[in-house]
Structure 1
C-alpha cells in the first residue's frame, strides 16, 4: 500500500454543515454530488460490503419484526430495502412476541454482513440471548433458518472474519461491567468451526480493553489485520478507533481515525469500511447520538495515510473530521430509494414494513379482502406499567419516519366492521412521546379521537364507512394530524406533537388497531401513501 494517498475516493470539495442545517438537503443532489445524511431515518448499527458492482448493508431493528434489515445500492448514496434476515423473532426469544412485548431497546442489535464461499453471512447479537447467524446465496432472501451461535448475555457488536487460510474468526465485546474492572469493556477474538456455526471456546483471546469499546469490525488489507471499533474518551464522547497488526491475535497498534463533536456531527461510529475500486475507499456510518428520527446514515471519504484509513477530511493532526457533502463515489444512474407507500395489492407486505414485535399472524391478512390489509383487533397485553397503551398493543404495523423537509402520510381505512372497545388509525410510535389518531367505538358510536401519551381529545361522531387519516411533519419532527370524509378536503385535528427518540429507536409512523374490551372487530386498510422530500 502506498505510504501517502491523498483523498483517495471522494471529494474535490468538502462542506461542513451545522446541526441546524442538516436535512434541508440530503442524499443524491442529481448533479454528481450528494449531501449527508444519505439515509435521513433510523438505519442504525450499519455494516456494508461490496460484491461485484453491488453494495449491501444491514441495520439493527431491536424489537421490530421482521428483524435485521438488508439494503442494496449501486452507488453507496441511493439505497433500497431488499429483505430482512430474521422472519420470526420468537426464534430469538418469546419475550419478542406479541403476547410479551418485553424487549424495548433490546432485541436485534448490531451485526456484520460478509461474503464468503459464494454466500452472504450475517452475524448479530442481542444483549440478553447472545449471538445468532444466518446465511443466504441471495441477499434478497430467502435467508436460512436462524442459528444460535452462543447463548450468553452481556455481549454485543460482533463481526465474522474469514482469513486467507480458510480459518473462520469471530470478534465481539463483553460489556457486562465489573466494578473492579473500572468499567472496561473487553473485546474478544474467537476461532470458529469451518461451517461458521460454532465458536471454538478454547481459542478465546482478549485483544483490546477500554471504556465503552464496541462497533467491532475485522478486515485484512495489504498484509495488515485491521480492527475497527469505537470507544468513549475522558469527556464521555464516543470516537472512532482502528487497530492494526501483522498477526490477527495482535498485539495491535491503536490510532484514533476520526474526531468527535457531539453537537456538530452527532458522533458517527458504527459502520463499515468499503473499497470502491483499486484506489478508492469510503465509510458508511450511522450517527450514534440519536434524535427523533433515530440514528441516520452518512457516507464519508477515506484517505489512507501511512497505512491508516483516516475517515473524513484529514485534519492537521492527522485525524479525520466529519464532512457533510461531496462528489458521489460512483456516477451510476439508479432509481433506488427507500420504499414507503403500499397499495396492499400483493400477498406479502412491502419490504419497508416492520411490526412492533412478532405479530399475531391469525389477526391480519392481505388475502381476506383483495387489495386491502385487514387488521383484526385484540386486547393489549396486561401490564403493571401505566400509560402509553400502544406499547402493549400487538400487531402495530410500522415503518421509519423520515427526517426531510416535508413528509405526508395518508391512509384510507374502512371502519364499518369496528366493534365496541376498538380504537384504530395512525400512530407515531416511540417509548417516549407517542400519539394516536383515528376512530374509537363505544356503545355503538364511532368518534374521532386524538391521543398523546394516553391523554385523549375526542371529536365528532363519524357515520361514514370510509375515512382518510393524514399525518404531516417536517425537519423539526413536529407532527400534525388531519382527517377527510371524501379524500379531498382535510381538516386538522388535535394538538401538534413532537416526535421523539426512545429506547435506542427513532419515531415510527404506523397503523394501529386494538380493542380494550375483547378480541373483536376489524378494519380494512385500502392504501398507505407516504411521500417525502427527495433532496
Structure 2
C-alpha cells in the first residue's frame, strides 16, 4: 500500500514537472527555499486550524492585497484579493502620473471571533481595517483616524486588539489600542525604540511577547521579548539577507512546533519568501537548526507531510468568465476597454490612449518566475488599427516590449521598444523600429533569466520557427524608480491617438526556460 502510494505520488510529480518554472516541494518529504520563486513581498502568515494564510503587498496593482492558502507552508495557491479596485485616490486610475511604487504596502492578517481582520495602510492615507467572515471575501473596511505605517495587528489573550507601527526612518514602535470591533483607535503608547525598525510583527508564546522588526538599512531582522506589551524589551540580532531574510515572523504548527517566514531581497525577481524551522533556546526563537543557528536552510524536511503539490496559476487559455487570480492590472482598469465575453475563449484588449507603456492603462501583468522562465502569448492581430501598439514583454524598472504596430491600409509590423523608468520619468529607446509581418496569427515570446539578469524577446508565425528581435535587455529591481516590484510580465495595447482597435489574446503560457538557452 505504501509503495503504491509512493509510486502514484512520484508519477504525479513527474507529470507536473515539465509545466513548473520552480517547485519548492521536492516530492521526497523535503522542500527548497524559496517556497515561491517570485515577488511576494512583506509576508504575514497565520494558521487557522489546519490552514495557513499568507498576505502579500501589491502596491498599485489591481486587484490588490493578495492572499494565498496552504496546508503545509510549502505548496501555495492564490485564494483571493482583498481589494477588488483601489479607491480613495484618482492616481489609482493612472491619472496624474499614476501611483507606481505606492498604493497598498505591508498588510497584517489575523483571525478573531470568527472573522478575518486585515490591517493595511495605503501610502499617504489613513489605515484601513478590512474584515470578512471568509478568507475569499467579500471584504469591507473601516478607516482609522491616522496613518499607521506597516501595521502589525495583534490580538492579546484577553481579546484586546492592538496595532504596532514603526517607520524605519525613526524606529519608534508605537502600540495603538483598538476598540472591540477593531474599527477605531482608543489609545496610543510608545512601547519601544529600535533604530531603523519597521515591518513589525508581534507574537505571544509561553508567557512572553515577541516583537520581530525589520531593519531595512541593514537588510536584517531583530527579535525582542518582554513579559509585558509595554516593555521593558530585551533584543537580540537574528537573521539577515545573507543568512535568510530580514522581514517576517513565526507561526505555530498544529503539533506545537514553530516555523518562520521571512522576506529576502533577491535582485531583479523582487522580494521572495523563505520558510524555516524554528527551535527555542533560552526562551528565544532561533531560525534553522541547533547545529546552524540563525541560518535559514536552503533545503529542509517539509513542515507537514502528505499534501499534494500546488502553486499559484500562471498559464491561461482565457476560457473562463473571469480573469485568473494570477493576473493584475498595472492600476485600476477601464473595464469598458477589455473583455472576456466579446470573443469567448480570448482576452480582448482594446487600445487605450497613451504615449508609452508606463502611462498605458489596462496593462495586464503577472509576476515573473525564477530562476529562468519563458512566456509565450498566442495573438490574433486582426483587430489592430493604425497607430495601435500591442504586445508582450517585461514590466518594471525595465520594460522591454515586442509589439505589433498598426500601419496604414491594414499593414502591420513588429517594433521592439525598451523603456527605462528613471527619476526624470520613463525613457524609451526604439531598438528595432519595424519588422513587417503578414497574417493575423502571431506568437510573441519573452525569456527572463534571473541568474544572468537578462531577457530577450522573439516572434513566430507558426510557433515553431522563432526570430529574436532587439538583443538582450537587463532585468532589475529598483524601489526608487521602478514599480517597487520584481520584474513582471505584461500584455498591453495602447495608441497615442484617442481611437484605435484591439488585440485578441488566444492564450498565455508560462514555462521554464529550456536548458542551454542564454538570454
Check the 8 A contact 2:132/2:140 in 1, yes or no.
no
- Cα distance between partner residues in 2 of 1:393 and 1:327: 45
**After the TM superposition, which parts of structure 1 deviate over 4 Å for at least 4 consecutive aligned residues?**
23-26
- Cα distance between partner residues in 1 of 2:283 and 2:509: 49
Check the 8 A contact 1:49/1:272 in 2, yes or no.
no
- Cα distance between partner residues in 1 of 2:183 and 2:21: 45
Aligned pair count? 481
Gaps of at least 5 residues in structure 2 are 1-19, 420-427, 515-519
Aligned to 2:163: 170
- Cα distance between partner residues in 1 of 2:350 and 2:140: 28
1:457-515 CA deviation, whole Å, 9 max, x = no partner?
03432221121111123342422211111233222222111221122210000101100
1:318-357 equivalences in 2 (<5 Å): 320-357=294-331
Is 1:186 paired with 2:181?
no
Check the 8 A contact 1:26/1:37 in 2, yes or no.
no
Check the 8 A contact 2:21/2:370 in 1, yes or no.
no
- Cα distance between partner residues in 2 of 1:281 and 1:414: 51
- Cα distance between partner residues in 2 of 1:292 and 1:474: 10
Deviation at 1:292, TM superposition (A): 0.5
Specify which of 82, 88, 95 is matched with residue 91 of structure 2.
95
SS across alignment from 2:127: strand
- Cα distance between partner residues in 2 of 1:464 and 1:442: 14
Deviation at 1:286, TM superposition (A): 1.2
TM-score (norm 1): 0.85
Deviation at 1:322, TM superposition (A): 3.1
Deviation at 1:101, TM superposition (A): 4.4
- Cα distance between partner residues in 2 of 1:349 and 1:151: 35
Aligned to 1:417: 383
- Cα distance between partner residues in 2 of 1:369 and 1:151: 46
- Cα distance between partner residues in 2 of 1:468 and 1:490: 9
Aligned to 1:159: 152
- Cα distance between partner residues in 2 of 1:522 and 1:274: 47
Is 1:528 paired with 2:508?
yes
Is 1:143 paired with 2:138?
yes
Deviation at 1:162, TM superposition (A): 1.7
Aligned to 2:3: none
- Cα distance between partner residues in 2 of 1:533 and 1:110: 31
Identify if the C-alpha distance between structure 1 residues 92 and 286 changes in structure 2 by more than 3 Å, giving closer, same or farther.
Answer: farther
Check the 8 A contact 1:28/1:78 in 2, yes or no.
yes
Deviation at 1:126, TM superposition (A): 2.7
Aligned to 1:130: 126
Let me know the Cα RMSD of the aligned residues.
2.2
Deviation at 1:151, TM superposition (A): 4.3
Aligned to 1:243: 224
Check the 8 A contact 2:348/2:503 in 1, yes or no.
yes
- Cα distance between partner residues in 2 of 1:480 and 1:442: 25
Is 1:199 paired with 2:185?
yes
- Cα distance between partner residues in 2 of 1:520 and 1:533: 34
Is 1:252 paired with 2:229?
no
Aligned to 1:12: none
1:344-370 CA deviation, whole Å, 9 max, x = no partner?
111110000011011111111111111
1:450-489 equivalences in 2 (<5 Å): 450-453=416-419, 454-456=428-430, 457-476=432-451, 477-489=453-465
Aligned to 1:33: 30
Identify if the C-alpha distance between structure 1 residues 459 and 87 changes in structure 2 by more than 3 Å, giving closer, same or farther.
Answer: same
1:207-218 equivalences in 2 (<5 Å): 207-218=191-202
- Cα distance between partner residues in 2 of 1:187 and 1:495: 49
Aligned to 1:506: 486
Aligned to 2:367: 400
Gaps of at least 5 residues in structure 1 are 1-22, 178-183, 382-388
TM-score (norm 2): 0.88
